[in-house]
Amino acid sequence: MDLSRNKDFYRHLFRLMLPIFLQQLLKISVDTVDSLMLGSIDQIQMSALSQANQIFFVFSTICNGFSAGCCVLISQHWGKKDYESICTIAAHGLRIITVFGLIVSVLVGAFPQIFMRIYSSDPTIISIGAQHLRRISLMYTMFGISNMIFGISRGIEQVRIILASNIVSYSVNILLDYLLIFGRFGFPELGIRGVAIGTVIARFIEFLFCGIFFLKEPSIPFMWKDLKRSDPKLRKALIKVSAPIVAHEIVWSLGTSSGAMITGQLGKSAVAGYNVMYVLYELCATVGNGFLNAANVVLGMTLGRGEKEEAKRQAHSILAIALGIGFAMSAITLLVRDGFLSLYSLDPDALHYAKQFILIIACIWPFSLIEMVTMVSILRAGGEGQVGFYTDIVVMWMICIPLAAFCAFRLHAEPWIVVAIIKNIIVLEAIVGIIRVYTYRWVKDLTTDQ
């Protein structure tokens, strides 16, 4: 394996990784704290919140697809210091995400029960979750716009906008949730209703904060009037790069969400155990997410400068680092499992399931990191987002999900077997990702190789 010998590449990679990791950690910490606080008083409310959050999970991953497409294209133009093109791409991205966010806000606010029935068969969980969805529907549009600004900012290496906005908004989110869930310091005790109020207020603060920072960012001269910018060639390039990424995010998020849907039919204890496992998984995944986003930007800039041989060496280095992080995550997951579970008030069955599910994710971490960096960092940096889409269609939707559903509903297999089948998606996709990376078909300069 021919690794990069460029010390600036490694310094650049880890300099970008740290703030992105902290941003991801702050984001996940809110869900973790909410889960812990609700789980300490009511297992049903915790499960309802976790299942309702599946809707936001699908929405946010699609938004990530749009912003990732912008980030990929912008990072290559950033490598060329083409500021005019960057502003135009940003304008197209912001208009697209605003329309999408408004549509989702209306649908979730109008039909929350329909969405909840997808993820649970329990009437109590459906009722509580539907009320929560209706209350938070206002924040979808605000989150979508903020997320797009974050993607644009990553493309121009200005991750401090993301970190500063998240420090403020998520700190407010956690504080309000604590005050309103438990009714501290004179605030009413609202339980899951307090989570909704805290979430909407925090997303509004984030929206204002990152918008103001972005308009004052000196790296690119973007102003309100630039939202009217349009360029058919750049719009076509953005759609060409973003469409397969968005398609990948849709099939991946729906497939991942189907895992929650399948386990959601296996009983309250299995649902609680799965959701607790998923919280720990998301916490550990922040390291991988920080690394893959940083790697995507750095590799995109290298391709934008036309340094294709160096890009290959950097890809090799990214794979090696990812494998090391994956093994470290496996060890950490096993070490913290019992302590993490002690924070929850779970019935014996739910605790048993949670331990089994956490053991499964510990085993797949190395494959998960490889899947992340191949499908998201390396292939997308060269405009190969369609690889992840096609892989998910075959591996996820034609093999793993049907097999998991068959085992759950026909064979009535143990929940751990069902979850193991669902997570096996990652192993198969990691293998496909490695094979595709070593074809080197992704080594393209998207600003010229159209």
Residue 13 backbone dihedrals phi, psi, to 5 degrees: -60, -50
3-state secondary structure of 265: coil
pLDDT < 70 stretches in the chain:
1, 41-42, 260, 264, 445-450
What is the C-alpha separation between 415 and 349, in angstroms, rounded? 11
Q: For residue 445, what pLDDT is reported?
A: 67
At 366 the pLDDT is 94
Answer yes or no: are the C-beta atoms of 54 and 262 closer than 8 Å: no
Q: pTM of the predicted model, to two decimals?
A: 0.73
Looking at residue 326, its pLDDT comes to 93
pLDDT by residue (tens digit) across 184-222?
A: 888 888 888 888 898 899 999 989 888 887 777 777 777
Q: List Cβ neighbours of 325 (8 Å cut-off, separation of 6 or more).
A: 287, 288, 291, 369
